[in-house]
C-alpha cells in the first residue's frame, strides 16, 4: 500500500471505504525527510492536478497510483485524489472526535503500530478482508477501539482499550458497571481441552440487567443464580461443559436436587442426572447456546454441567488426577500475557480453534484464519471492564515446550474387563530392561501390560494372587519369570503367560500366604517358601522339596511370608507367628537368634533396620532385636492401625495423619492412610502413602517434604519405578474400579 514512499518518521494510516465500495487510504507523516522512492529502471510518472481547488501531485507507475500534497509541516498521501482534496479542504473546520482523542492518550510509545478503529465504519472495511455475510461485526464489540501491536519473539499481540457509547448494544456493555473477578474455572476444565470461554462479574444482578437489554427473552433467576460470579464453556472435541463459580450455591444446589431423576457416585464425587434442563441457555444467552443439561456435579462452590455422562466422568477423572486446563501448555503459555481477572476470557489451542468458535463465527472466517499458518500456537482474547474503558488484549503465541520440573502428568490408563482385585505392580521386561505391569481382576484374570499401556496377554487363574508377584531367572539365562501363590496354587509363568513346569503346585485347605523367594548367595539358586497355616514347604529351583530345611511345622499359624536377611556373612530366615513368636532361624531351619518374649504383633511385617530386626506391636511400641537376641523397645505410642516400612537405613511410620520418615514429620489431612512404602531409585528415597477415603496418593522425599504436584488420584497404594529408562519416574495405581493409571514425573 505504501510502496514507493520513503520516510524515517512515524505516520498515521487511515483506511476508509470509497464511493465505489473500494478501499481508500490516507497516510499522514512529517514532511521532513519525506520523499518518493524512485526506481531508475521504472520511475514514477509525476504530474500536478487540481481537485476541488487543491493542488495535488499525482504519481503513477504500472498499475500503482497515489496522490500527495503538503499541509503545514505534514505530508498527506492517498490512493483517492477526491478523498485527499476533501480531507485538506475540511482541516480548518474539523472537530476532533472526543472518543478518538481520549484513545490517543492511551497508546504506548515504542510499539510497532497502534490501531484506532471506529467500529461502525470498520464493518464495511472488513468486507475487503473477510467474508462478513454471517460474521459478527466490529460494531458488535465496541464503539471505538485503540490497539497497540507488539511483536516480540513467538508473540503477535494487539492490546489496548475500547469505548462504548451509552446507547450502544455492543458486547462490552454486558459488563457495564461491574468489575471482573479472578478467573478460576481453568482448574475445572480437562488439561487437553480445545479451549475455554468464560465471563465474570462482581454483581450478577447488574450483569443480568445489562444482558436483558440485548437479550430481552433471557430468563435469569435471581434466586438461583444470584451468587454466580463466573460462567465458562469448556470445549473438547464435540463435547461442551458449562462451569459456574459461585460464592455460595445452596439455592441452586437445592433446585438441582429437586429436579434430578437419579444420582450416582463417581471417583468420590456425587453426580446428578436431570432431564435436559435448559436452565443455563435461558440464564446466559450471551454465552450459552442450545445446551440441555443431563449431568451435573458440585465441587465446593463450583458447578459442572454436561450434556453427556462420558464427558462428566472425563472431567472428574482429570480433576482427581490434577490434569486440568490451568496446568496445560496452552493455558500456561497464555497466562503470562493475561490479567488475573477478566470480564471476558477466551483461551484456545490454535489447532482446535475451529471446533471451539464454530458456533460463534462462520467457517469462512475460521478458514481464513487457519490460512495464516500458526502451527502449535495458543490464541487468546481478554476483556477487562474498568469504569468507562474496557481493556482489550488479543494475541497468538507459540506454546511453551519447556517441561516443568517435577511436573506430574498421566501417561496412560488401561481398562480391564472386570474390576481390579490386586494392586498393579511393575515387573521387568527382560528383552529391553523396560518395565511392564501385572495386575489381576476379580474374575481371577491376570494381565501383563506393556510400558506403552498395551495388554500383552490375559490369563485366567484358578484363584486370587496373594501379595506381590516376584520375578526370578530360573534358568540363569536372563529371561525372567513371574513367581507367586494364589489362594491354593504355587505358580511360575514365563513372559508369555505360560506355566513353567513343574511349578504348578496345588494345595488344599486354608489359603496360602504370599510366596517368599530367597536367593542366599545372589546366584539364582532360588528357595521358594510356601506357607499355609502352620505348614511350611521350601522348594528348590527344580520344584523339589528342600530336605535340608528342618522347620516345616510352626508352633502356630504363620502371619506373613517369611523373610530372608543377611548381616555380614550370616543368613537369617524370620517368621512371625500368631502366638506372638518371632522366629529367627538359619538356612537349615534351626534357631539362630532366640527371642523368648511374645509380641502382640501389629498388622505390619518384620524388617531389618540398622542390623536389627524390627517389629511393632498393637500399642505402637517398636521392638528391635539385634543378632545376639538383645531387645530394645521404643514406645512411639502409635495407634493400633499404624503402618510401618523400613530399609537397612530408613524407617518410616504412618500414624493417623502423621507421616514420619527418618525422624522428619509431615502432617496430612485427616483420612484413612495405607502403610508407607519406601522406594530407592537413582540414589534418592521416595516414600508413598495413599488416602483410601479421598483416593489420593502422596509422595514424599526423605525429609518428609511432599513432592510438587502431589497428591494424585489413585484408589490403591502405588508402585514406583523408571518405566522406560529415561530417568523420569513413573507410578502406577488403581484408577477406577476396572482401570489403572500410570503417571510420569519429570
Domain boundaries, the chain: 1-94, 170-394
For residue 360, give Cα distances in angstroms to 367, 374, 424, 586, 653. Answer: 14, 20, 46, 78, 57
| 8 Å CB contact between 131 and 363 | no
pLDDT over 70 (residue 222): no
Model pLDDT for residues 191-200, shown as the tens digit of each residue:
989 999 999 9
Task: Cis check for the bond before 146: say yes or no (omega within 30 of 0).
Answer: no
pLDDT over 90 (residue 230): yes
For residue 51, give Cα distances in angstroms to 44, 76, 77, 562, 653. Answer: 20, 14, 14, 107, 94
At 289, is the pLDDT very low, low, confident or very high (cuts 50, 70, 90)? confident
Model pLDDT for residues 532-581, shown as the tens digit of each residue:
999 999 999 999 999 999 999 999 999 999 999 999 999 999 999 999 99
At 619, is the pLDDT very low, low, confident or very high (cuts 50, 70, 90)? very high
Supply 648's cell numbers. Answer: 537397612
Name the DSSP class of 138. Answer: G
Beta bridge partners of 593: 584
% of the chain surpassing 90 pLDDT = 64
% of the chain surpassing 70 pLDDT = 90
Q: Which residue would you say has higher pLDDT here, 23 or 694?
A: 694
| 8 Å CB contact between 200 and 385 | no
pLDDT of residue 214: 84
pLDDT of residue 630: 97
At 24, is the pLDDT very low, low, confident or very high (cuts 50, 70, 90)? confident
Vertex 456: Cα angle to 451 and 457 (nearest 5):
145
Q: Which residue has the cell 483517492?
A: 80
- Give the span between the Cα atoms of 230 and 182, in whole angstroms: 9
Amino acid at each position: 500500500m505504501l510502496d514507493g514512499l520513503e520516510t524515517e518518521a512515524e505516520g498515521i494510516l487511515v483506511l476508509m471505504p470509497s464511493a465505489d465500495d473500494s478501499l481508500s487510504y490516507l497516510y499522514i507523516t512529517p514532511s521532513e525527510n519525506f520523499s518518493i522512492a524512485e526506481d531508475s529502471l521504472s520511475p514514477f510518472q509525476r504530474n500536478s492536478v487540481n481537485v476541488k481547488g487543491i493542488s495535488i501531485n499525482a504519481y503513477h507507475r504500472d498499475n500503482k497510483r497515489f496522490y500527495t500534497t503538503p499541509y503545514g509541516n505534514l505530508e498527506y498521501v492517498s490512493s483517492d485524489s477526491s478523498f485527499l482534496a476533501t480531507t485538506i479542504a475540511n482541516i480548518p473546520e474539523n472537530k476532533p472526535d472526543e472518543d478518538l482523542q481520549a484513545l490517543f492518550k492511551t497508546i504506548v510509545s515504542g510499539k510497532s503500530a497502534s490501531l484506532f478503529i471506529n467500529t461502525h465504519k470498520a464493518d464495511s472495511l472488513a468486507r475487503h478482508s473477510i467474508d462478513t455475510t454471517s460474521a459478527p461485526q466490529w460494531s458488535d464489540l465496541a464503539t471505538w477501539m485503540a490497539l497497540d501491536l507488539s511483536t516480540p519473539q513467538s508473540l503477535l499481540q494487539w492490546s489496548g482499550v475500547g469505548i462504548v457509547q451509552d446507547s450502544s448494544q455492543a458486547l462490552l456493555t454486558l459488563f457495564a458497571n461491574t468489575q471482573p473477578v479472578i478467573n478460576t474455572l481453568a482448574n475445572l476444565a480437562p488439561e487437553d481441552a480445545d479451549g475455554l470461554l468464560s465471563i465474570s462479574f462482581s454483581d450478577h444482578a447488574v450483569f443480568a440487567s445489562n444482558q436483558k437489554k440485548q437479550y430481552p427473552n433471557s430468563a435469569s433467576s435471581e434466586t438461583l443464580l444470584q451468587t454466580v460470579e463466573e460462567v465458562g464453556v469448556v470445549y473438547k472435541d464435540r463435547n461442551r461443559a458449562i462451569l459456574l463459580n459461585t460464592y455460595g450455591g445452596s439455592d441452586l444446589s437445592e433446585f438441582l436436587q429437586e429436579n434430578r431423576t437419579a444420582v450416582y457416585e463417581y471417583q468420590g464425587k456425587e453426580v446428578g442426572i436431570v432431564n435436559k434442563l435448559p436452565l443455563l441457555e435461558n440464564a446466559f444467552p450471551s454465552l450459552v447456546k442450545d445446551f440441555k443439561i443431563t449431568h451435573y456435579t458440585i465441587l465446593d462452590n463450583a458447578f459442572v454441567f454436561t450434556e453427556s455422562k462420558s464427558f462428566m466422568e472425563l472431567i472428574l477423572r482429570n480433576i482427581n488426577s490434577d490434569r486440568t486446563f490451568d496446568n496445560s501448555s496452552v493455558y500456561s503459555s497464555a497466562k503470562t500475557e493475561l490479567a488475573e481477572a477478566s470480564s471476558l476470557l477466551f483461551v484456545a489451542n490454535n489447532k482446535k480453534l475451529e471446533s471451539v468458535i464454530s458456533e460463534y463465527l462462520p467457517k469462512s472466517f475460521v478458514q481464513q484464519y487457519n490460512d495464516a499458518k500458526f502451527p502449535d500456537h495458543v490464541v487468546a482474547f481478554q476483556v477487562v471492564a474498568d469504569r468507562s474503558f474496557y481493556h482489550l488484549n488479543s494475541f497468538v503465541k507459540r506454546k511453551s515446550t519447556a517441561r516443568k520440573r517435577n511436573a506430574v502428568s498421566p501417561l496412560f490408563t488401561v481398562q480391564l474387563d472386570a474390576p481390579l482385585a490386586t494392586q498393579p505392580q511393575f515387573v521387568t521386561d527382560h528383552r529391553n530392561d523396560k518395565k511392564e505391569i501385572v495386575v489381576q481382576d476379580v474374575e481371577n484374570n491376570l494381565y501383563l501390560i506393556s510400558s506403552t499401556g498395551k495388554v500383552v496377554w490375559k490369563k485366567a487363574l484358578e484363584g486370587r494372587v496373594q501379595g506381590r508377584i516376584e520375578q526370578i531367572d530360573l534358568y540363569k539365562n536372563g529371561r525372567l519369570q513371574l513367581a507367586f501363590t494364589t489362594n491354593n496354587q504355587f505358580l511360575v509363568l514365563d513372559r508369555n503367560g505360560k506355566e513353567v513346569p513343574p511349578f504348578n503346585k496345588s494345595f488344599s485347605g486354608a489359603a496360602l500366604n504370599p510366596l517368599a523367594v530367597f536367593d542366599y548367595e545372589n546366584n539364582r539358586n532360588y528357595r521358594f517358601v510356601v506357607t499355609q497355616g502352620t505348614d511350611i514347604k521350601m522348594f528348590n529351583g527344580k520344584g523339589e522339596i528342600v530336605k535340608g530345611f528342618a522347620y516345616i511345622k510352626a508352633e502356630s499359624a504363620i502371619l506373613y511370608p517369611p523373610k530372608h536377611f543377611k548381616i555380614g556373612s550370616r543368613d537369617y530366615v524370620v517368621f512371625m507367628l500368631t502366638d506372638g513368636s518371632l522366629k529367627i532361624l538359619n538356612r537349615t531351619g534351626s534357631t539362630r537368634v532366640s527371642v523368648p518374649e511374645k509380641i502382640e504383633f501389629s498388622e505390619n511385617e518384620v524388617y531389618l533396620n540398622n542390623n536389627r530386626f524390627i517389629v511393632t506391636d498393637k500399642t505402637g511400641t517398636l521392638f528391635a532385636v539385634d543378632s545376639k537376641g538383645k531387645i530394645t523397645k521404643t514406645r512411639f505410642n502409635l495407634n493400633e492401625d499404624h503402618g510401618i516400612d523400613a530399609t537397612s537405613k530408613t524407617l518410616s511410620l504412618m500414624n493417623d495423619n502423621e507421616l514420619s520418615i527418618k525422624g522428619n514429620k509431615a502432617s496430612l489431612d485427616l483420612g484413612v492412610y495405607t502403610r508407607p512404602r519406601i522406594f530407592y531409585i537413582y540414589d534418592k528415597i521416595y516414600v508413598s502413602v495413599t488416602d483410601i477415603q479421598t483416593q489420593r496418593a502422596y509422595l514424599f522425599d526423605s525429609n518428609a517434604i511432599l513432592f510438587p504436584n502431589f497428591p494424585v488420584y489413585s484408589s490403591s497404594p502405588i508402585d514406583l519405578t523408571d518405566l522406560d529408562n529415561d530417568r523420569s519416574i513413573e507410578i502406577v495405581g488403581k484408577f477406577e474400579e476396572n482401570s489403572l493409571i500410570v503417571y510420569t514425573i519429570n
